[in-house]
Amino acid sequence: MWSYIARRLLLMIPTLFGIMLLNFIIVQAAPGGPVEQVLAQLDGIDSQSSTRIGAAEQSDIQSSSSSGQEYRGAQGIDPELIAEIEQQFGFDKPAHERFFQMIGNYLTFDFGDSFFRDQSVLDLILEKMPVSVSLGLWTTLIVYAVSIPLGIRKAVRHGSSFDVWSSSVIIVGYAIPNFLFAIMLIVLFAGGSYFDWFPLRGLTSDNFDQMSFPEQIADYFWHITLPVLASVISSFATLTMLTKNSFLDEINKQYVMTARAKGATEHRVLYGHVFRNAMLLIIAGMPAALIGIFFSSSLLIEVIFSLDGLGLLGFEAVMQRDYPVIFGTLYIFTLIGLLLKLVSDITYILVDPRISFEAQNQ
C-alpha cells in the first residue's frame, strides 16, 4: 500500500501543475484584469484603490498619452502611472515568468498579498474558513445522519408506500436549487412576508462577544439554522438513494439468505452482515464529499445570507480580478481535494481489507 501512496503523491505534482496552468491561461485571457480595475477606479468609478498609488501620482491622472491603450480606461492617464500600476501587480513581466514565479512561491506556501484587501492571502483564507467549515460541517453531519437511516429503511421496505412517497419527497428536494430554497426560507421565516423567527444575515449577532457562553451557543445556532437547511435540501437524494441501492444489492446476495436460513434475526442480518459491505462506498466516499460540501456548494448560500466565508471570498476575488486570492485559494483547494481523494482510496482498504490497489497495478 505504501508504494501505491507514494505513486499517488508523485502523480499529484503534474496534476496540480496542469490545473494551475490551465486556470492561469483562462484567467489571463479573460478581459478586465487588475490593472484595468484600478484604472476604472482612478477614472472615477471607485476611489477606494486610489490611495494604493499614492497622492503624488494623482495629479498625473488627467494628463493624456497615446501609450497604454491596451487597457480599457487608459485614455487620459499618464503612461508612467500605468507602468507603475503594472509593476505593482507584477504585470511588467511576461506571463510565463509570472506563472513560474507564482508556482515557485506556492511550493513554499507563499501566496502573497491580495491586490485589493491589503492582507495576505493565507490570512484571508484562515479568516474566512471558519464560516465555510462551520456551514459545511453541520451540512455533512445532518445529511449523513438523515440519509443513511432513511436509505436503510427504504431498502428494507422497498416497493412499499413509504418507499414511494419518500422517494418523491427527496427527488423534489433534489430538484429545488439551494438558492431558491434559501430565498423561500427567508420569505417564510426571516421577516420576508410571514414570520420573523430567524436573523437574515451573519453567523452571530453584533453583541456576540458580550453574551454568556450558553447565549453564544444559542445565538450561533439561531443564525446558522436557515443557511444549513438551505444547504442540505438537495444533498439528501444522492446519499439516500446510494445507501438504499447498496443495501438492496447486498440483501439479495447468497450470504444473506444463508444467514436467514440459519435462524439469524433480521436485525442481526441487516446490521451484522449487510451493513459493513453496503456501507463501503458510502464511508469511503465521505472524504471526497467533504471538499465539495465545504468549498463548492456554499457560494450562493453565503451571498444570500451575508456569510463572510470562502465562497463569498472567491466570488469577490473573481469579480475584482484579485489574482493572488484566485490562484491561492485554487491551489489550496485543489491540493486538499487531491489529498482527500487519496484518503478516500485508503479508506476503502481500511473498511474492506480484501481490496488491494497493489494487486491491480501488477
User: Each residue of 115-126: pLDDT tens digit?
Assistant: 878 788 888 888
Cα–Cα distances in Å, from 286 out to 134, 221, 316? Answer: 17, 24, 29
The candidate with the shortest Cα–Cα distance to 166, out of 179, 178, 155, 182, is: 155
Contact 3, 358 (CB under 8 A): yes
More confident position, 171 or 194: 171
**Superfamily of the domain at 122-360:** MetI-like (1.10.3720.10)
Tell me how many degrees the CA angle 196-201-202 measures, rounded to the nearest 5: 130
Query: 3-state class of 190 per DSSP?
Result: strand
CA distances from 198 to 165, 201, 231, 280 (A): 30, 9, 16, 39
- Region(s) of the chain under CATH 1.10.3720.10: 122-360
Name all contacts of 66-69 with Cβ < 8 Å and 24+ positions apart.
Answer: none
- How far, CA to CA in Å, does 194 sit from each of 148, 271, 304, 306? 34, 45, 18, 21
Closest by CA position to 240, among listed 144, 136, 351: 144
Model confidence band, residue 316 (pLDDT cutoffs 50, 70, 90): confident
* pLDDT confidence of residue 22: 92
Q: Is the pLDDT of residue 64 over 60?
A: no
Answer yes or no: is pLDDT of 331 > 50: yes
Average pLDDT of the segment spanning 254-280 = 79
State yes or no: pLDDT of 2 exceeds 60: yes
* 45-54, 145-154, 185-194, 268-277: range with highest mean pLDDT: 145-154
Q: 208 with 216: CB under 8 angstroms?
A: yes
Which tens digits make up the pLDDT trace of 6-18? 888 899 899 999 9
DSSP string spanning 213-241?
HHHHHHHHHHHHHHHHHHHHTTTHHHHHH
Q: What are phi and psi for residue 120, nearest 5 degrees?
A: -70, 150
What's the mean pLDDT in 332-339?
84
pLDDT at 63: 37
